[in-house]
Amino acid sequence: MTETDQPRQQLMQIGQALAQVRQQPATLGQLCDTARQAHALQAALPPRFSEVLLNLLDRLESSALFSEESCSFSQKDLLDSLQLWGEKAGERLAAR
């Protein structure tokens, strides 16, 4: 795997984990772990991407502790935001 392949591979793994969470919400922890461990991806992107990713992951993990009604943000909206983050990250990687 080349240096440019690893970030793309990690982004793909995050996308797969995200799709799995949408089908099986109990796998949220695996998604967060996969995204947090994507060091090559984070290093290949501008620092702001990591900040946004980590913020989304923190909020997703917090949302898992509460029911939808008692949480101040929607887990679905956070997953949608993570998907958008992935799309923007993919665009940035393609432009390198």
Does position 43 have pLDDT exceeding 70, yes or no? Answer: yes
Residue 23 has pLDDT above 70, yes or no: yes
Please say whether the beta carbons of 56 and 78 come within 8 A. Answer: yes
Domains contained in the chain, number:
1
CA-CA distance, 80 to 70, in Å (whole number)? 20
The percentage of residues in the chain with a pLDDT greater than 90, rounded to a whole number, is 78
Contact 27, 21 (CB under 8 A): yes
Structural domain of 56: 5-94
pLDDT on residue 44: 97
Whether the predicted pLDDT of 13 surpasses 70: yes
Q: Sorting pLDDT into bands at 50, 70 and 90, what band is 38?
A: very high
pLDDT exceeds 70 at position 41: yes
For position 37, what pLDDT does the model report? Answer: 98
